[in-house]
Amino acid sequence: MTLTQLGWNDHFAAAFAPHAAAGFLPARVTLELKGFFEVTGESGARLGECTGKFIHDARYASAYPAIGDWVAISPQPGDDTRANIHAVLPRLTKFSRKAAGDVDHEQVVAANVDTVFLMSALDGNHNLNRTERYLAAAWASGAQPVIVLNKADLNDDTAAIARELSVAGRDVPVFVISAQTRRGLKALAPYLLPGRTIALLGSSGVGKSTLINRLVGERLQDTQEVREADNKGRHTTTQRELIVTPSGFIVIDTPGMRELQPWDAAAGIDAAFSDVAGAAARCKFRDCSHTVEPGCAVQAALADGSLHPSRWEAYQRIQRTNAFEVRRSSKPVQLKQKVDFKKATKALRQRVHEKHGEE
């Protein structure tokens, strides 16, 4: 397999020049394992592990290789199946989220992706708030987002949902498909070009593995049925994997994510709602709440019709969702809330005490 078939281009060639001078070889991360990575280059796939120097120099978890990354490797002496990973090349794009749980650090889900298929299912799995969070993360990644609504064969009212998402995503293409019956799959062809990398993202049970099998034309990924009781899927894909298809396009399959809080949510929201952000930037006051303040450009845009009310409602909705996720997962924010609550309680008690003293 050639580097070009793996997605190599002039950008990565230029970034790799210093590593080539040091005698290293380029390879792409094609599978994430616990503590190891499958790295694939012109000589085939090897089991890669980060060197001690790499680990010492890596200040953050996001500095470690992620699926889709290009890395500088050297074969381990005496073993043509293993390799040392010395460096990660600068990423063109990266889809990141805050790691699930209480730890506040960036988790790179996929790197160097050209197009992100944001998948949702029409069998009861569809959730507008979740799709909007995916959109914000996709815009922040730098990749081109595409909304794919799967399982159209199980829903007769697909037009209303597609219109709703067209408002939330504005210029983001929305495709209604059925991977099971192959309905609408031909419309995805413009994104399936040789050397281009596509990532499929969505919660469990939306049909990512089924879609991959249909696009490739053979069974590459196992699939499972969705529970009828709650329309939730089981984790068919348990690890991130990069696949070079026979037709030449590259696809990254990822496990379903129960939690998704974009790492740089503010940048993603501003990019997804550039019309709202642009209006807000023209407000008279920097801390404008966009309600009753004089000189509010957002209210003016709503009044003259240049900003559609549904776009403003979608923007407010995703801001509320993001604020909730921050409060729920960020320890510093939780600590600040606790301190503020104690101060408010103390002030209230003081007022009650003073009031009783006056009486």
Please state which CATH class domain 265-343 belongs to. mainly alpha
Domain boundaries, the chain: 4-88, 94-253, 265-343
- Residue 82's region, left for phi above 0, alpha for psi from -120 to 50, else beta, is beta
Residues in the chain: 359
Query: Could you report the per-residue pLDDT of 213-259, keeping only the tens digit for each?
Result: 888 876 555 444 544 444 444 445 457 889 999 999 999 987 744 44
The first and second tokens of residue 161, run together, are 């949902």
Query: Could you report the per-residue pLDDT of 158-180, keeping only the tens digit for each?
Result: 777 777 777 666 778 999 999 98
Architecture of the 94-253 domain:
3-Layer(aba) Sandwich (3.40)
CA distances 82 to 28, 47, 51, 233, 321, Å, are: 14, 5, 12, 35, 44
Longest Cα separation, the chain: 89
Higher pLDDT, 289 or 256: 289
The three-class DSSP label of residue 130 is helix
Query: Could you report the per-residue pLDDT of 98-113, keeping only the tens digit for each?
Result: 765 555 677 888 999 9
Contact 250, 6 (CB under 8 A): yes
Enter the CATH code of domain 4-88.
2.40.50.140
Residue 226: count of CB within 10 angstroms of its CB:
20
Report the interhelical angle of 309-329 vs 297-304 (nearest 10°). Answer: 140
CA 120 remoteness from chain centre: 14
Exposed/middle/buried for 58, CB within 10 Å: 0-12, 13-18, 19+?
Answer: middle
Mean pLDDT of all residues belonging to the chain: 82
